[in-house]
Amino acid sequence: MNTRRLPTGGQINRAKPLEFEWDGKPLAGYEGDSLASALLASDETILGRSFKYHRPRGLMSAGVEESGAIVTIGTGARRDANVKATSQALYDGLVAKGQNAWPSVRNDFGAVNSLFGRFFSAGFYYKTFMGLPPFEWGKGTGAWMWYEKIIRKAAGMGTASREADPDAYEHANGYCDILVVGSGPAGRAAALSAAQSGCDVVLVEQDFALGGESLSRVEEADTLSQELAALRAAGVRLMENTTAFGLYDGGVAGLLERVTDHLSAPPQWMPRQRFWTMRSRFTVIASGALERHLAFGNNDRPGIMTANAAKIYLNRYGILTGENIVIATNNDSAYLTASSLSNAGACVTLLDSREQILNSSQSGVQSTGVDVKSGMSILNAKGSKGVYSIDLAEKSPDGWRAKNQMACDLLLISGGWSPVVNLLSHRGLKPVWDSVNACFIAPDHHEPIAMAGSAAGIWDHAGCVQSGEKAADHAVAHLHGQRAETSNKSGGWQTPIEGLYEISVSGHQHKSFVDPQHDVTADDIRLAHQEGFVSVEHLKRYTTLGMATDQGKMGNVIGLALMAEALGKEIPEVGTTTFRPPYTPISIGALKGRNVGSHFRALRRTPLHDWNLNAGGTMTMAGLWHRPWYFAQPGEGIGEAYVRETETVRRTVGVCDVTSLGKIAVQGPDATEFLNRVYTNPFAKLAVGKARYGIMLRDDGFVMDDGTTWRLAENNYFMTTTTAHAAKVMTFLEELLQTRWQDLRVHLTSVSEQWAGIAVAGPQSREVITECAADPREVTDRALPFMGVIETTLKGNIPVRIARISFSGERAFEIYTPSDYGPAAMDMIWSAARVRKGCLYGLEALGALRIEKGHVTGAELDGRVTIEDAGLGRMASDKKSYIGSVLKNRPELLKDDRPRLVGIFPKDRREIFNAGSILCQNGNVSGYGNGWVTAVTHSPALGHWIGLGFIEGGHSNWIDREVVCADPLRKGNTPVEIVSPHMFDPSGERMYG
Amino acid sequence: MLRIQCPFCGLRDHSEFSYGSDASVEYPPLDGSQEAWHDAVFQRENIDGVQLETWQHTLGCRMWIVVERNTRTHDILSVRPAHDGMAQALNTSLITEPDQ
């Protein structure tokens, strides 16, 4: 390949040279260059190594279909692998490297694989390493797992950086009337026409320059800037560097905007990429067409590219790609390229596989000195790191026959054009085969989508412009509620294309690539057929055809044609595989946007968050909530801290932030009836000023949630739910009222954020409340007995709701105050507790206290537990019907041997055991065991570790039986004793007293 | 992404909504038979075509709505409030073609 930059011409700025680095070598290009064009102008021809055989590869195209020049951009944490050099804009200081090669792409040790190429046929790795025959037959997966690690290293692409991504990414939302994809002649015509009709139009272009095909047509390029100015003036929003990668339901398009990937020193405030969710009412797809290769011997050599690519390098980048050029074509499109190259000074031979060539398409080129040979094509390319000659093939009555050799330094292929129908295909519409134009085109459909330009199989400029205007008319009509069709006829060539996919002659064995990126050859396709893979979907997965980063843009149609030939069918009978998003690869970073680190998920802080931190609390996550975990004193770890907190609560008093509990205001004349239907226990006669613990089931009879509900007034209740199930309960209650029980006059309001919650628990909790209350007479034992509720104020006029309820098993109060009063209320309560040698306690101590009492939480109520299983059967009324009351009585759920809630002690009281362990009968640690452990803690009251769990038949079934707590991956077996879940103060004297 | 015409808020992304269940199910009375409850809770048609679904506008007005959707094309044919009184009050028992 003898490439040179021409002194004039193209869309590059020769006054602005840019420096960049390729495999450590300093090189230079110009502003407006792609990385590919700059490498080409610097005469770098070997830019990659193939996936399997490590064959040298050069540029094969000038666009997103590139399968040769796949490189790594950037260094360190910003290293970005598998970038197509053809779509990367050049910038000053760009650092690029070859990949999948050692020591370099020019001299790659891995190329030794090529010598054994005949063994590496389709399915080679699986066939060989699923147990090395005959010794490891039947070992299958095990053997594969071992070999896979080695194979993965040898075959492959670039390697991603292992460092954290230092760049920022954004999610953005957009709306428009009409989204136009592609800024070529058709897209521009559509956008202008639609905008002039008063529509809000967004036009997206994946390239770093707007213009599409016009960028590489001299006469169109001249007027491009005026056309773009006209578009802007008409109000069209133009977005370059933006790929429409997917089309979804409801007119939603996914766009990836590469904001800084083309900048040398991007400002820090800019995101690297922006992921757009664009909602349009109509989409015009003018995404162009991709030129196909042909399958022939050694068709992957550096120095072989599409004819269109040479035209782009010449007219857009001002590079003449060769001196002695051969073009092989089966259609008219290469003629223009041939004459441009000839005019630029190259010696050009055009091999047209068609025997009949109309004079009109010929005449234009002959005057420029192009040597046209009809009925000819190419059989094999010679040279390894470049092409120096080719073997010609000539049409014969029964196919092709080998002809003479011919010297050349560049080989251009035009095997026909594939319209980019991918986006339409994302809508579930299978493209149909157009045999006249030898390509897949859009089927008839009723989506608010129109195809335009070469994406609709239209090949001439005037036809493309016209189709764009028609698409705009269609779109505008649709927006006005009129039915319309875009009836664009494909075509535009003077001489019909010849369906040509492979040139081979028996006796001439060469590697001929169908999918160069995954090293899938024509023989691999035939082998797959021989082995019985007749469906294209199977063929694809077995040979990996079309599964590389280009997703079959280059080779799929050839693969289908070869399969059709092997099956003796036509291409449409074989069908095509489904295109799925994304059209081109998207970085994970863009998908995640700003949802990283602490922004990965929403964070809920209680109004007491800062208060807890100032008081020395260590926080932990409970769902989305940050809750205090423990309050360590100097020298304490979590173990010491929670044990001390637990002891202090039982001895004097403890104070805890319980804001995260769900809180729902249930109000209205039918509120009582409503609660009576959703809770298992009776609520009809709950007195005003009283709270009641209640359990809710799901429709299927399993426990959904538990909590207390306070009757504040006749028609006004305050319901609390568990932290974990707050949202689920709210949604379910709303569903009941809005769908099933529309007659009930009840209003629900989530007030979880409106109230701060503080639990005061311990023998001296009454004294603390009394000290804080504005009127101590209101909180006496008589005024506020167990399960009593009052609305009152604390000193300083702090409004509160207080209920005497207990989760800890101690005399305890829950105090709710409007969120903004939270810290002030906490200050007061805590100082009253502190003088009584009380403590602040966190989630860990809260857990220890409730485990000692056998109180259940989310760990036990996991959705598989019935009210009987949880030991709360007495809460299930048999005098009324409620949600779940029918299905909880299914025979299977009434069996005596269901796992029931139990307490667990270690046999040797000095031992520790783990939550998540399996409870098994001694000597029979296998399968699912007989039960499981849900929670463990050290119990200061009992002086040893205890647990809660479930075991078949419950406590009474396991008295005096040998049980082990099996934890094979961590602790092994611990002999345990199954006891009642009420392990501390079973009669509840401390709580009620 | 589906776009759902909420009768209260307008056209919104489906990500603002949560799917509920089959809106054609008639739940038995609370004291109904076990068979009736079993069928209502567990028996579901896997419809190829138009089906009625309940959705909640969870991140919006929190209203439950009934969506008539084609499972094959994802076309939404109509949307109405699940609560009949609401539907009547809004007088929008059927909103066709969210696009127009």
Each residue's pLDDT tens digit, A809-850: 999 999 999 999 999 999 999 999 999 999 999 999 999 999
pLDDT at residue A50, as a whole number: 87
Determine the 3-state secondary structure of A737 from DSSP. Answer: helix
- Contact state of A252 with B1 under an 8 Å Cβ cutoff: yes
Q: What DSSP designation does A103 have? A: B
Mean pLDDT, rounded, for A326-340: 94
Q: Is A797 left (phi over 0), alpha (psi -120 to 50) or beta?
A: left
**Per-residue pLDDT band at B93 (split at 50, 70, 90):** very low
**What are A981-993's pLDDT values in tens digits?**
999 999 988 888 7
pLDDT at residue A23, as a whole number: 95
The answer to whether residue A140 scores a pLDDT higher than 80 is no
Which residues does chain A have within 8 Å of residue B56's beta carbon, measured at their own beta carbons? 731, 734-735
- Contact state of B34 with A890 under an 8 Å Cβ cutoff: yes
Determine the 3-state secondary structure of B73 from DSSP. Answer: coil
Give the residue from A733, A739, A747, A748 with the most B CB atoms within 10 Å of its CB, the best one to mutate. Answer: A739
- Contact state of B31 with A886 under an 8 Å Cβ cutoff: yes
Closest CA to A414 of A359, A344, A334, A474: A334
User: What count of other Cβ atoms lies within 10 Å of the Cβ of residue A249?
Assistant: 15
Give me the helices (H) in A16-73, please: 35-41
Cα separation, A891 vs A412, in Å, equals 76
> Are the beta carbons of A155 and A260 closer than 8 angstroms?
no
Cα separation, B4 vs B53, in Å, equals 12
Maximum distance among all alpha carbons in chain B? 45
Cα separation, A464 vs A320, in Å, equals 28
Residue A4: enclosing H or E segment and its boundaries?
Answer: strand A4-5
Give the residue from A247, A249, A429 with the most B CB atoms within 10 Å of its CB, the best one to mutate. Answer: A249
- Contact state of B83 with A882 under an 8 Å Cβ cutoff: no
Amino acid at B20: G
Cα separation, A680 vs A693, in Å, equals 10
- Contact state of A731 with B18 under an 8 Å Cβ cutoff: yes
CA closest to A740 among chain B residues? B27
Long-range contacts of B96-99 (CB under 8 A, 24+ apart): B98/A250, B98/B3, B98/B4, B98/B5, B98/B11, B99/A251, B99/A281, B99/A448
Mean pLDDT, rounded, for A120-145: 63
Upper half-sphere CA count for residue A972 (Cβ side, 13 Å): 2
> Are the beta carbons of A813 and A829 closer than 8 angstroms?
no
Chain B nearest-CA distance from A583, in A, is: 17
CA closest to A282 among chain B residues? B99
Closest CA to A717 of A760, A673, A655: A673
pLDDT at residue A136, as a whole number: 59
Which residues does chain A have within 8 Å of residue B28's beta carbon, measured at their own beta carbons? 886
- Contact state of A252 with B3 under an 8 Å Cβ cutoff: yes
pLDDT at residue B60, as a whole number: 96
How big is the A-B interface in CB pairs under 8 Å?
A: 78
Upper half-sphere CA count for residue A407 (Cβ side, 13 Å): 3
Closest CA to A393 of A365, A408, A374, A410: A374
- Contact state of A886 with B37 under an 8 Å Cβ cutoff: yes
Residues 6 or more apart whose CB falls under 8 angstroms from that of A912 comprise A906, A936, A938, A945, A971, A974
The answer to whether residue A367 scores a pLDDT higher than 80 is no
Interface of B with A in 12-71 (CB under 8 A): 13-14, 18, 20, 23, 27-34, 37-38, 40-42, 54, 56, 58, 62-64
Model's pTM, two decimal places? 0.90
Using a 10 angstrom Cβ sphere, with 0-12 exposed, 13-18 middle and 19 or more buried, the burial of residue A981 is buried
Mean pLDDT, rounded, for A498-512: 92
Give the residue from B14, B22, B27 with the most A CB atoms within 10 Å of its CB, the best one to mutate. Answer: B27
Chain A nearest-CA distance from B20, in A, is: 9
The answer to whether residue A643 scores a pLDDT higher than 50 is yes
Long-range contacts of A675-679 (CB under 8 A, 24+ apart): A675/A709, A675/A717, A675/A719, A676/A880, A676/A882, A677/A736, A677/A741, A677/A881, A677/A882, A677/A883, A677/B30, A678/A733, A678/A736, A678/A882, A678/A883, A679/A709, A679/A882
pLDDT at residue A565, as a whole number: 92
- Contact state of B2 with A881 under an 8 Å Cβ cutoff: no
Using a 10 angstrom Cβ sphere, with 0-12 exposed, 13-18 middle and 19 or more buried, the burial of residue A684 is exposed
Of the candidates A731, A887, A889, which has its C-beta nearest B56's C-beta?
Answer: A731
pLDDT at residue A364, as a whole number: 67
CA closest to B66 among chain A residues? A739
Closest CA to A259 of A278, A275, A245: A275
Give me the helices (H) in A155-216, please: 185-196
The answer to whether residue A118 scores a pLDDT higher than 70 is no
Q: How far is CA A371 from the centre of its chain?
A: 52
- Contact state of B58 with A731 under an 8 Å Cβ cutoff: yes
> Are the beta carbons of A23 and A42 closer than 8 angstroms?
no
- Contact state of A738 with B63 under an 8 Å Cβ cutoff: yes
Helix then strand then coil, % of chain B, to nearest 5: 20, 35, 50
List of domains in chain A: 1-164 (3.10.20.440), 167-290+417-494 (3.50.50.60), 291-416+496-574 (3.50.50.60), 609-659+754-848 (3.30.1360.120), 662-750 (3.30.70.1400), 895-993 (2.40.30.110)
Give me the helices (H) in A320-391, please: 334-343, 359-366
Residues 6 or more apart whose CB falls under 8 angstroms from that of A373 comprise A349, A350, A351, A352
The answer to whether residue A130 scores a pLDDT higher than 70 is no
Cα separation, A563 vs A532, in Å, equals 11
Residues 6 or more apart whose CB falls under 8 angstroms from that of A932 comprise A899, A916, A917, A918, A919, A949, A950, A951
CA closest to A477 among chain B residues? B100
Cα separation, A450 vs A462, in Å, equals 18
More confident residue, A172 or B89: A172
pLDDT at residue A132, as a whole number: 57
Q: How far is CA A716 from the centre of its chain?
A: 45
- Contact state of A251 with B99 under an 8 Å Cβ cutoff: yes
User: What count of other Cβ atoms lies within 10 Å of the Cβ of residue A402?
Assistant: 16
User: What count of other Cβ atoms lies within 10 Å of the Cβ of residue A702?
Assistant: 20
Which residues does chain A have within 8 Å of residue B14's beta carbon, measured at their own beta carbons? 250
Cα separation, A555 vs A533, in Å, equals 18
> Are the beta carbons of A962 and A904 closer than 8 angstroms?
no
- Contact state of A889 with B34 under an 8 Å Cβ cutoff: yes
The answer to whether residue A116 scores a pLDDT higher than 80 is no
Using an 8 Å CB-CB cutoff, list residues of chain A that contact chain B: 248-252, 277, 279, 281, 428, 448, 481, 677, 699-700, 731, 734-735, 738-740, 742, 881-883, 885-887, 889-890
Which residues does chain A have within 8 Å of residue B82's beta carbon, measured at their own beta carbons? 738-739
Mean pLDDT, rounded, for B53-65: 97
Residues 6 or more apart whose CB falls under 8 angstroms from that of A398 comprise none
Which residues does chain B have within 8 Å of residue A886's beta carbon, measured at their own beta carbons? 28, 30-34, 37
Which residues does chain B have within 8 Å of residue A277's beta carbon, measured at their own beta carbons? 1, 13
Closest CA to A464 of A580, A357, A333: A333
* B85 touching chain A per CB within 8 A: yes
> Are the beta carbons of A564 and A227 closer than 8 angstroms?
no
Of the candidates A277, A734, A886, which has its C-beta nearest B64's C-beta?
Answer: A734
Cα separation, A682 vs A106, in Å, equals 82
Mean pLDDT over the full length of chain A: 93
Mean pLDDT, rounded, for A215-241: 95
Q: What DSSP designation does A740 have? A: I
Amino acid at A961: R
User: What count of other Cβ atoms lies within 10 Å of the Cβ of residue A897?
Assistant: 11
The dihedral sign for the CA sequence A451, A455, A457, A463: positive
Cα separation, A419 vs B9, in Å, equals 40
- Contact state of A677 with B20 under an 8 Å Cβ cutoff: no
- Contact state of B74 with A885 under an 8 Å Cβ cutoff: no
Chain A nearest-CA distance from B33, in A, is: 7
pLDDT at residue A346, as a whole number: 95
Of the candidates B20, B28, B34, which has its C-beta nearest A735's C-beta?
Answer: B20
Cα separation, A800 vs A779, in Å, equals 12
Which residues does chain B have within 8 Å of residue A883's beta carbon, measured at their own beta carbons? 30
**Kind of pairing, strands A25-31 and A48-49?**
unpaired
Backbone angles phi, psi at B60, to 5 degrees: -135, -115
**Per-residue pLDDT band at A922 (split at 50, 70, 90):** confident
pLDDT at residue A637, as a whole number: 96
Q: Is A657 left (phi over 0), alpha (psi -120 to 50) or beta?
A: beta
Least confident of A224-238, A400-414, A425-439, A544-558: A544-558
Q: Is A972 left (phi over 0), alpha (psi -120 to 50) or beta?
A: left
Mean pLDDT, rounded, for A490-505: 92
**Per-residue pLDDT band at A135 (split at 50, 70, 90):** low
The answer to whether residue A147 scores a pLDDT higher than 90 is no
> Are the beta carbons of A321 and A58 closer than 8 angstroms?
no
> Are the beta carbons of A204 and A242 closer than 8 angstroms?
yes
Using a 10 angstrom Cβ sphere, with 0-12 exposed, 13-18 middle and 19 or more buried, the burial of residue A131 is middle
List of domains in chain B: 3-90 (3.30.2270.10)
